[in-house]
Amino acid sequence: MKSIYRYTGTAAALALAALQALSPACAQSATAAAQPKFDAKGIARTETVRRPFDASREAIQVRVEFAPGASFPKHSHPGVEIAYVLSGTIEYELEGKTVRLQAGESLYIPAGAVHSAKNVGAGITGELATYVVEKNQPIVILAK
């Protein structure tokens, strides 16, 4: 089962505007530091949190960025994922269906569900992926 939620969030834009008002040099530094380092496939992954959830699982949060046209192939996770689109437009293939999400929308991906994601927008697309997964397992399992 999947759930899509639409939210409008402007916290990042407000924070950057506040930084620019207080110190243009600081804001420029923050923007430069936010530039993703893409791999050969056009994907940048930055782990932001990894903490024990309970005796057998851990919670992990990863910022994933896609260069224009980049895609992540079919894969699954040893637990659930909640993907929140930070910017741009992502098209997911999940359980035989195509789901297109824009900034501010979320997708629940059940444990073990094979899915893929592609940036279908003109610019860089970013998402915040939150996982609750089995400990000591690879977070991404490529589909065969």
pTM comes to 0.75
- Gap between the Cα atoms of 70 and 117, Å rounded: 9
> For the chain, what is the domain count?
1
Please, how many CA atoms are within 13 Å of residue 142, restricted to the half-sphere of its CB?
Answer: 3
- Which residue in 138, 143, 142, 130 sits closest to 51, CA to CA? 130
Residue where the block lists tokens 């994907």: 43
- Cite the beta strand spans of the chain per DSSP E: 4-6, 43-52, 57-66, 71-76, 79-87, 89-94, 97-102, 105-109, 115-119, 125-134, 141-142
Tabulate helix, strand, coil % of the chain (nearest 5).
15, 50, 35
Find the domain containing 134 and state its range.
Answer: 4-8+39-142
The answer to whether residue 114 is domain-embedded is yes
Tell me the CATH number at 126. Answer: 2.60.120.10
Tokens of 21: 């008002």
The predicted-structure confidence for 37-76, as pLDDT tens digits, reads as follows 999 999 999 999 999 999 999 999 999 999 999 999 999 9
The predicted-structure confidence for 2-41, as pLDDT tens digits, reads as follows 343 333 343 444 444 444 555 555 444 444 456 789 999 9
The amino acid at residue 115 is H
The answer to whether residue 83 is domain-embedded is yes
The answer to whether residue 120 is domain-embedded is yes
